[in-house]
Amino acid sequence: MGKGMLIIIAGFAASFGILAQGKNQRFVESVDRMVNRYGDYTARNATTSGAHMALNQLYLNSAWRTGYNNLSIGGNTFSVTIQDQNQVPALGPYKLKILSSGGNADASNAAEVTLFTQRFQQFAVWAKDSVRSVTSQDSNGVDNAALTMEEAPFMPKIAKASLLSAATTQLHYYNGNFQPTDGFPNGDFYVLGMVPNVTYVTGNLRVSKNTTIYGIYVVDGNVVLKQNAKIEGILYLPNASSLTDIGGVDAGDSDVNGGVVTWGVINGNGYEITVKHFPEYWRALVNNYAANNPPLRVLSWK
């Protein structure tokens, strides 16, 4: 075999050796990356599991604050603490923060979950926008500002189509503005048994001076309440509308005995709208048209 051929063979051998060494190195690096990725993945899963377990405990018992300390799950450990306004005053009375951390020998992970702990029907006024010149009261008629939810963190799921269907069936559908007479529609919140009256107005609802009306009112436009006007029931404004007691003729204080839920502004414009929380009317709305709202609402997860 010639000298040139020997040199070529030696070169190939050296090249293959280098390539094999490089391949082995890449294989080792690939395994390391896979192990690290798996460690990250399981640490994240442990953290998420801790947060979900805490949510389940709070669902069963809203007063639960115990948390978890170094629990093991699939080769990982996790810990969970619960914070309320006692630890974080900025949270306010209706929010909790879940702090979950998990990890293993190769990785660690953390999550922060903020949740709202009350149902919308526990308030007299639930407004996505601002509230002005409105007094909320409990069912005994005692003023309670905590029953006003201004700039609500979410809007509840309410079956508007079902409300429209009920109003149509009851012949309480009004296309355009509507000004009901005193006692409308039958002098009672209920139309039959425990079935609530439902009235749908595509325009503005105007309640005249010294007039009382009954039932659930869905209003696409504005609601104008005049002096001593009273709604014995629930107002639901599904658009960015306003519940307003305007100035001018017959302007004055007015009342809602039941509750208000609105996407828009509530503004008495200098006159007072008193909203008294009445649980029975809220139950009628929720049981028939808003049953799919959870007792806890996750506001953020990061």
Angle at the Cα of 97 (from 91 to 98), degrees rounded to 5? 175
Instruction: Report the alpha-carbon distance of residue 35 to residue 53 in Å, rounded.
Output: 27
Name 146's Cβ contacts closer than 8 Å, sequence gap at least 6.
93, 136
Instruction: Report the alpha-carbon distance of residue 240 to residue 246 in Å, rounded.
Output: 18
85 and 142 share a domain?
A: no
Tell me which of 73, 89, 116 is where a domain ends: 116
Instruction: Please report whether residue 80 resides in a domain.
Output: yes
Buried b (16+ CB within 10 A) or exposed e, 260-273: bbbbbbbbbeebeb
Instruction: Please report whether residue 141 resides in a domain.
Output: yes
152 and 28 share a domain?
A: no
Tokens, residue 291: 């049953």
161 and 287 share a domain?
A: yes
Number of Cβ within 10 Å of residue 6's Cβ equals 10
Closest C-alpha to 57, from 100, 120, 101: 100
Give residue 29's domain range. 3-116
Within 13 Å, how many C-alpha atoms sit on residue 174's CB side?
20
Closest C-alpha to 105, from 26, 38, 53, 50: 38
Instruction: Please report whether residue 195 resides in a domain.
Output: yes
155 and 231 share a domain?
A: yes
Structural domains in the chain (count): 2
Which pLDDT tens digits describe the chain residue by residue (302 residues)?
555 544 444 444 445 554 445 544 444 444 444 444 666 888 898 899 999 999 999 999 989 999 999 988 878 899 999 999 999 999 988 999 999 999 888 899 999 999 999 999 999 999 999 999 999 999 999 999 999 999 999 999 999 999 999 999 999 999 999 999 999 999 999 999 999 999 999 999 999 999 999 999 999 999 999 999 999 999 999 998 888 887 778 989 999 999 999 999 999 988 999 999 999 999 999 999 999 898 889 999 99
149 and 255 share a domain?
A: yes
78 and 149 share a domain?
A: no
124 and 251 share a domain?
A: yes
In the 8-state DSSP scheme, what is residue 197? P
Q: Is 290 helix (H, G, I), strand (E, B) or coil?
A: coil
In the 8-state DSSP scheme, what is residue 146? G
Instruction: Please report whether residue 76 resides in a domain.
Output: yes
Residues 258, 126: contact at Cβ < 8 Å? no
Tell me which of 116, 150, 172 is where a domain ends: 116
Strand order in the sheet with 131-132: 131-132, 265-267, 242-244, 223-225, 205-207
Tell me which of 92, 116, 140 is where a domain ends: 116
